[in-house]
Structure 1
């Protein structure tokens, strides 16, 4: 009886601790904030809630990223998955290239390396021609033609920090993001060069109509920190 009376509160505390890791509340707005993923896990991620459904035939995705993970370590930078498909994933591959996947094989770009110093990174794609490009520090890569005629499916989940190998599951620590992410914005059209460059320099640009960092709805899961963007 005495042993059980000791064990019960310990078990109860354990349940409370686990619940605190997996529970999340919707929060709003990350203006002047940065997300810090301090170490690799298979449980830490941020869910972004878009302003509109992600049924897309064009987009611009912009973010600022810093990491000290070595180049031989694959890193997920952005993941959007529906029940059956990785609809839109952005990676840094083990060979250092930056890749972009939509529902199958991806396309790969040789870009300046991601480092401990923050890099502004944008990705543009439109279905009509398949033209896609990355923009690093306001400078465009060469165009590649990738999946003309394709459509991104709606009713999925957007995740930062992890790659779900199935819908909201199958997370792996060795693919997790470690570092800092900030100023994540997305539009359902291709921004002009001048607007992408203005965003890079921190000037005022049209708010992202899929998500806007200042007003974004998000949910924290696991060990992710929100800190002032000094």
Structure 2
């Protein structure tokens, strides 16, 4: 009887380990190791970025601190910065749609990974940041605006011209992964689930599992398990 019990326990342990391995998810992660004006990643969208609403999410960590601007996401057409997401000099988070931006006082980014989302809806102008599933105060911004298509999306640099004129002092240094973008606003519950590691529908503009990444300069791609 004792041997039977031991064999049963070993069987169930093996079964649990098999289930864990089968359900674990391996994703790529981008590591920007040094401050530079030459390293960046260009992302190819699944559809044109003619946006009247969006949700943009990513997992991000950085050791950059102090009075230093940090670009987190940049989308530029030939004439305009269409959508830029920043950590500002004072640590606040912000995003800009072809002009003046909107700033949020939320817990600062740091060396421990954070799940970060930003949402915006043109019809109401409602915008917000989510940090690890927790929503900021809503702010009204750029009601009625639509972003223009046919631009370039970059991680790591802020282009002051069309894919050019980079400033190393604004470059991203750290790690970015699990970046997804939708052309609509996700529910608060979905964003909270995503932050906690639950599987949700991936982005229809950028899907981190399938989006093509074009690496320029010293950016490393590493595999990690979620």
How far residue 31 of structure 1 moved from its aligned partner, in angstroms, is 5.0
2:182 aligned with 1:180, yes or no? no
Q: Tell me the equivalent position of 1:47.
A: 42
**Structure 1 stretches of 5 or more lacking a match?**
1-29
Residue 133 of structure 1 aligns to a residue whose secondary structure is strand
Counterparts of residues 96-135 of structure 1 (less than 5 Å): 96-135=91-130
Distance (Å, rounded) in 1 between the aligned partners of 2:150 and 2:161:
14
How far residue 218 of structure 1 moved from its aligned partner, in angstroms, is 1.1
Residue 196 of structure 1 aligns to a residue whose secondary structure is helix
2:121 aligned with 1:139, yes or no? no
Partners of 1:31 and 1:215 within 8 A in 2: no
Partners of 2:26 and 2:223 within 8 A in 1: no
Distance (Å, rounded) in 2 between the aligned partners of 1:71 and 1:200:
26
How far residue 39 of structure 1 moved from its aligned partner, in angstroms, is 0.4
Partners of 1:58 and 1:190 within 8 A in 2: yes
Distance (Å, rounded) in 2 between the aligned partners of 1:211 and 1:181:
14
2:163 aligned with 1:207, yes or no? no
2:149 aligned to which of 124, 147, 154 = 154
**TM score, norm. by length of structure 1:** 0.86
Q: Which moved more, 1:121-130 or 1:31-40?
A: 31-40
Distance (Å, rounded) in 2 between the aligned partners of 1:228 and 1:209:
23
Q: Tell me the equivalent position of 1:63.
A: 58
Residue 99 of structure 1 aligns to a residue whose secondary structure is strand
Distance (Å, rounded) in 2 between the aligned partners of 1:97 and 1:218:
28
Q: Tell me the equivalent position of 2:86.
A: 91
* Structure 1 stretches of at least 4 aligned residues deviating more than 6 Å after TM superposition: none
Q: Tell me the equivalent position of 1:198.
A: 193
Rg larger in 1 or in 2?
2
**TM score, norm. by length of structure 2:** 0.87
Distance (Å, rounded) in 2 between the aligned partners of 1:188 and 1:39:
32
How far residue 176 of structure 1 moved from its aligned partner, in angstroms, is 0.2
Q: Deviations over 1:24-80 (max 9, x none)?
A: xxxxxx951210000010000000000000000000000011000113111000000
How far residue 206 of structure 1 moved from its aligned partner, in angstroms, is 1.0
Distance (Å, rounded) in 2 between the aligned partners of 1:207 and 1:176:
27
Partners of 1:162 and 1:171 within 8 A in 2: yes
Distance (Å, rounded) in 1 between the aligned partners of 2:36 and 2:134:
33
Partners of 2:62 and 2:175 within 8 A in 1: yes
How far residue 198 of structure 1 moved from its aligned partner, in angstroms, is 1.2
Q: Tell me the equivalent position of 1:38.
A: 33
